[in-house]
């Protein structure tokens, strides 16, 4: 199988490249493209890259993911996350490639109290969420057989993420304040990458929710990070109002695993993933 990954230099992209190359008896030919190789906003460059790599599958992991910066620069956010995704979708259609698009829990409004199913209505509350929701709609219309893989609370090595921030703060402060009224599913990039590989191999179509099993608040996540790392900092719960940010966050964005289980793919729990992340971070890989 020939695979082209857009966003290969990002947190998930690096994990995808590593995990695909680590697969035993893997005959897949994987090409990773960074934003320097192909700017999603340039439709001609995207098409050229796809024609040159001749993929059977395209994994679109590239995105403008700083949700607060998206609020202050919506034009760039839509140009990359929506229009860029459409450019990749059109290129995939022209060469007959399958497409897997990474989307987000931010397409939901966070008002549910039970896990979101794939068919629940989109109602994004932030610019970032709107860019992803509109990209989903456009891609499903353009490529009805594409796969939309929604994930959440991504963490891993090689890029900025919540655990990395907590570890750095906990090493220099006696106490940390972390919001305790937002609940979701932390997802380790390595586990997500392995699931994405399986989705491609199973020729998955439609919307799939792909997160580590289990859920928690950011406060609970931070507590586990500090405890697993053996640090002495105290983690204190606070409200979102006390830690106001430019972009609204879903209060509840737990994604149901039903769609993933239907494909016979299981994800380990985030509590299982956290020590593996810490080990990988310690190794510096």
- Bin 153: left if φ > 0, else alpha if -120 < ψ < 50, else beta: left
Give me the catalytic one of 128, 188, 252, 277: 128
Lookup: tokens for 236: 């204190």
Would the CA dihedral through 48, 53, 55, 57 be positive or negative?
negative
Neighbours of 113 (CB within 10 A): 9
Please say if 116 is a catalytic residue: no
Q: Taking Cα atoms as reference points, which of 147, 133, 172, 126 lies closest to residue 60?
A: 147
DSSP assigned state of 105: G
Distance CA 10, CA 187 (A): 15
* Beta carbons of 157 and 128 less than 8 angstroms apart: no
Distance CA 239, CA 19 (A): 37
Query: Element (H or E) spanning 150, and its range?
Result: strand 147-151
Q: What are phi and psi of 188, to 5 degrees?
A: -80, 130
Neighbours of 97 (CB within 10 A): 22
Residues recognised as catalytic: 128
């Amino acid at each position: 199988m020939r695979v082209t990954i857009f966003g290969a230099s990002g947190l998930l992209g690096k994990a995808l490249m590593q995990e695909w190359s680590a697969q035993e008896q893997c005959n897949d030919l994987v090409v990773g493209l960074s934003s320097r190789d192909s700017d999603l906003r340039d439709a001609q460059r995207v098409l050229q890259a796809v024609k040159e790599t001749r993929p059977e599958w395209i994994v679109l992991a590239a995105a403008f993911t700083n949700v607060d910066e998206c609020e202050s620069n919506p034009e760039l956010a839509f140009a990359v996350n929506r229009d860029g995704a459409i450019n990749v979708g059109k290129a995939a259609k022209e060469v007959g490639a399958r497409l897997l698009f990474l989307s987000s829990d931010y397409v939901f409004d966070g008002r549910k109290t039970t896990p979101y199913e794939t068919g629940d209505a989109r109602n994004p509350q932030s610019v970032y969420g709107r860019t992803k929701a509109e990209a989903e709609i456009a891609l499903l219309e353009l490529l009805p057989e594409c796969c939309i893989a929604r994930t959440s609370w991504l963490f891993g090595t090689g890029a900025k993420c919540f655990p990395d921030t907590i570890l750095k703060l906990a090493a220099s402060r006696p106490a940390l304040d972390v919001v305790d009224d937002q609940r979701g599913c932390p997802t380790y990039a390595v586990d997500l990458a392995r699931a994405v590989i399986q989705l491609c191999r199973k020729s998955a179509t439609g919307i799939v929710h792909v997160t580590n099993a289990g859920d928690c608040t950011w406060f609970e996540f931070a507590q586990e990070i500090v405890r697993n790392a053996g640090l002495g900092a105290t983690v204190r719960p606070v409200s979102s109002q006390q830690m106001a940010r430019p972009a609204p966050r879903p209060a509840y964005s737990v994604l149901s695993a039903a769609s993933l289980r239907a494909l016979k793919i299981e994800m380990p729990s985030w509590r299982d993933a956290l020590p593996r992340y810490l080990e990988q971070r310690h190794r510096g890989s």
